Amino acid sequence: MIRVQITRTRGSSPREAGAAMFVSEQGLSGTIGGGQLEYMAIDRARQMLTRGETRARMDVPLGPEIGQCCGGRVELALTSIAEPPAEPDHPRVLIFGAGHVGRALATALALLPLRPILIDQRAQELAQATGDTRLTPLPEAEIRDAPFGTSHVIVTHDHALDFLLAAEALRRMDAPYIGMIGSQTKLAQFRRFARAQGLDTDRLTCPIGAGWSHDKRPEVIAAFTAAEIIDRLTQTTSSLKKYPCDS
């Protein structure tokens, strides 16, 4: 297997230095930005596998000569490795409530470099979900036990439970995103509830997925909420890499 890693960029480039992909005779994982740059790198990596080469370098101009318009320059290091890389430990997003919005959000987030986990007290709702799920009578304990940097989205069927979970999440100062489904009226009620417990609600996003559309279909709310989460994470953490440009 060949690791293809960007070691230096100059000018505009589809990915940042450090971005990598892994190339085998038949397979591919990761991306250095797509387009002609990636095709050239894959071709060179497979040449290395055929010839038994262990190291190579490429210096590629990203202009009209290769059919790409970023306009910069990218240097690549190609290295033979014995084992495929371990799966990345993506930032976790705990979704509380496996109703229509929760299930739609879990599906949307699964397409991103995140690890959504759908949590509910109701087995019948979780049975309709796909992906990583947890059945628990004490969802607030999942917040307390969550790894550092976990985000929380609260979309349960019960306003009292929403308030309990949102308050618990606000006690986690490491949470980059905390969101709760609702309205401005619900937010005002929660602020009074949180104030009585000495909690600052400035970190809470409520309503979630608002500001772009009045469409209330679960899939639409989920799409805009996913955008909020990924925007917050790419601004506040280094665990997520920047996305490649279209090429």
Residue 65 pLDDT: 64
Asked if 37 contacts 62 with a C-beta cutoff of 8 angstroms, the reply is yes
Residue 68 pLDDT: 63
| Pair (112, 60) in one structural domain | no
Tokens describing residue 142: 């999942």
CA distances from 98 to 31, 82, 101, 106, 132 (A): 32, 41, 7, 9, 11
Rounded (5°) CA angle 173-243-143: 25
**Which residue, of 80, 108, 129, is where some domain finishes?**
80
Tokens describing residue 5: 């890693």
* Angle between helix 218-236 and 100-109 (nearest 10): 50
In this structure, the strands spanning 204-205 and 178-180 are parallel
- 104: Cβ contacts below 8 Å, ≥ 6 apart: 218, 219, 221, 222
Q: 67: phi > 0 → left, psi -120 to 50 → alpha, else beta; which? A: left
Domain assignment present for 189: yes
pTM above 0.85, yes or no: no
Convert the pLDDT of each residue in 83-110 to its tens digit.
766 767 799 999 999 999 999 999 999 9
| Pair (144, 225) in one structural domain | yes
Position with higher pLDDT, 57 vs 211: 57
Domain assignment present for 85: no
Domain assignment present for 8: yes
| Pair (23, 47) in one structural domain | yes
Residue 246 pLDDT: 38
Reduced to 3 states (helix: H, G, I; strand: E, B; else coil), residue 132 is: coil
**Which residue, of 29, 47, 80, is where some domain finishes?**
80
Q: State mean pLDDT over 157-172.
A: 96
Per the structure, the complete domain to which residue 117 belongs is given by 92-236
| Pair (203, 103) in one structural domain | yes
Give the CATH number, domain containing residue 220: 3.40.50.720
Q: State mean pLDDT over 57-82.
A: 84
Tally of structural domains, the chain: 2
Which helix (H) or strand (E) is 200 found in, with range?
A: none
Asked if 121 contacts 238 with a C-beta cutoff of 8 angstroms, the reply is no
| Pair (114, 225) in one structural domain | yes
Reduced to 3 states (helix: H, G, I; strand: E, B; else coil), residue 146 is: coil
| Pair (58, 118) in one structural domain | no
Convert the pLDDT of each residue in 103-141 to its tens digit.
999 999 999 999 999 999 999 999 999 899 999 999 999
Tokens describing residue 94: 């705990």
Asked if 20 contacts 30 with a C-beta cutoff of 8 angstroms, the reply is yes
| Pair (96, 67) in one structural domain | no
Domain assignment present for 244: no
Domain assignment present for 241: no
Asked if 211 contacts 62 with a C-beta cutoff of 8 angstroms, the reply is no
Residue 11 pLDDT: 87
| Pair (101, 212) in one structural domain | yes
| Pair (142, 194) in one structural domain | yes
Residue 243 pLDDT: 41
What is the rounded CA–CA span in Å between residue 208 and residue 11?
Answer: 36
Convert the pLDDT of each residue in 182-202 to its tens digit.
999 999 999 999 999 999 999
pLDDT at 213 over 90: no
Residue 127 pLDDT: 94
Amino acid found at 105: L
Residue 241 pLDDT: 46
Residue 242 pLDDT: 44
Residue 70 pLDDT: 64
Domain assignment present for 105: yes
Beta-bridge mates of residue 23 = 2, 28
| Pair (15, 40) in one structural domain | yes
| Pair (96, 73) in one structural domain | no
Convert the pLDDT of each residue in 12-69 to its tens digit.
888 899 899 999 998 998 899 888 899 999 999 999 999 999 999 999 998 766 666 6
**Which residue, of 80, 102, 121, is where some domain finishes?**
80
What is the rounded CA–CA span in Å between residue 203 and residue 54?
Answer: 49
Domain assignment present for 232: yes
Q: State mean pLDDT over 141-149.
A: 95
Other CB atoms within a 10 A radius of the CB of residue 71 amount to 13
| Pair (121, 141) in one structural domain | yes
Q: State mean pLDDT over 3-18.
A: 91
pLDDT at 239 over 70: no
